[in-house]
């Protein structure tokens, strides 16, 4: 109904673009979740799966992030008002680190980081705070997640931690989802 009435439909945030952290139910049984949390599960009505809006209707633009970046929202609105393509890059967080002159936390400190496969948008926030990226903006364009996964393994990360790191706020986005499924199988 919203799609029918809209000239442009933009999804905002990881829940709308990827199903969010709620998508963890997609790898589990939501009925079991309901029984675990609620004394009277029969009062509760909820969806079996949490999926991106784009799985259901045509979406003109996806603004990534958990949370989104304020500046990107302004850029988006500005772009639509002026009828131009939003200047929102889909390269990785690595570019933002390099631009800020932050030494790579993986190389320099051995801290596992999802930056190489995560879309830019936060301005390399976590590496700036001596922390590895945990994927708030979802997969970059054409990420090589399996290759990064192997680097994580060589840094000593166990499979369970790796799967959990991929299955996070954007876990259901295809590149993260598929790579997590590979390591969950093993």
Partner 1 sequence: MSTPETEPRRISVDYLARVEGEGNMKVEVRDGKVEIVEFGIFEPPRFYEAFLRGRRFSDAPDITARICGICPVAYQMSSAHAMESIFGAKVEGQLRELRRLLYCGEWIESHVLHVFMLHLPDFLGYQSAIHMAADHREAVERALRLKKAGNDVMILLGGREIHPINVQVGGFYRVPTKKELESLVPNLEWALEAAKWAVEFTGGLPFPAIEQDFEFVSISHPDEYPLNEGRIVSSRGIEADVSEFNGIFEEIHVERSNALQSKVRERGAYHVGPLARYNLNFGKLTPACRQAAASAGLGEVCGNPFQSIVVRSVETMYAVEEALRIIDAYEEPAQPAVALEVKAGEGHGATEAPRGMLYHRYRVDDEGWITDAQIAPPTAQNQLSIEEDLRVVLEDNLDLPDEELQWRLEQSIRNYDPCISCATHFLKLEIDRG
Among 98, 131, 144, 147, binds partner 1 (CB under 8 A): 131
**Six token digits for residue 163:** 């799967």
The 83-122 contact track toward partner 1, x by CB under 8 A, reads: ---------------------------------------x
Is residue 125 a contact point for partner 1 (CB under 8 A)?
Answer: yes
Is residue 44 a contact point for partner 1 (CB under 8 A)?
Answer: yes
Rounded distance between C-alpha atoms, residue 40 and residue 58, angstroms? 37
Look-up of token digits 């590979």:
182
| All residues at 6 or more sequence positions from 169 whose CB lies less than 8 Å from its CB, including other chains | 14, 18, 20, 21, 66, 135, 136, 138
Among 46, 71, 87, 109, binds partner 1 (CB under 8 A): 46
The 1-20 contact track toward partner 1, x by CB under 8 A, reads: -------------------x
102: phi then psi, degrees, rounded to nearest 5: -90, 120
The stretch near partner 1 (CB under 8 A) out of 4-12, 72-80, 89-97, 164-172 is: 164-172
Residue 140 near residue 90, CB atoms below 8 Å: yes
Is residue 40 a contact point for partner 1 (CB under 8 A)?
Answer: yes
Q: How big is the site for partner 1, counted in residues (CB under 8 A)?
A: 35
Rounded distance between C-alpha atoms, residue 8 and residue 65, angstroms? 20
Residues of span 144-163 touching partner 1 by CB under 8 A: 160-161
Q: What is the DSSP string of 140-178?
A: -SS--HHHHHHHHHHTT--HHHHHHHHSSTTTTSHHHHH
Q: Point out which residues bind partner 1 (CB under 8 A).
A: 20-22, 24-25, 28, 30, 32-40, 43-44, 46, 66-67, 122, 125-126, 128-131, 134, 136, 160-161, 164, 168-169
């Amino acid at each position: 109904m919203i799609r029918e009435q809209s000239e442009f439909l933009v999804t905002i945030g990881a829940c709308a673009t990827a199903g969010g952290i709620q998508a963890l139910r997609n790898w589990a049984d939501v009925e079991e979740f309901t029984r675990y949390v609620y004394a009277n599960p029969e009062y509760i009505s909820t969806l079996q799966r949490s999926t991106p809006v784009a799985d259901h209707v045509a979406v003109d633009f996806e603004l990534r992030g958990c949370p989104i970046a304020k500046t990107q929202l302004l850029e988006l609105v500005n772009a639509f008002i002026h009828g131009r393509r939003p200047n929102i890059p889909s390269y990785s967080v690595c570019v933002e680190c390099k631009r800020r002159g932050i030494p790579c936390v993986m190389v320099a400190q051995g801290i596992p980081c999802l930056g190489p496969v995560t879309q830019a948008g936060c301005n390399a926030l976590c590496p700036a705070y001596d922390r590895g990226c945990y994927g708030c903006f979802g997969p970059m364009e054409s990420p090589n997640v399996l290759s990064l996964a192997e680097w994580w393994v060589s840094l000593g990360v166990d499979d369970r931690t790796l799967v959990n790191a991929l299955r996070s706020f954007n876990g259901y986005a295809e590149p993260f989802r598929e790579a997590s499924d590979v390591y969950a199988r093993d």
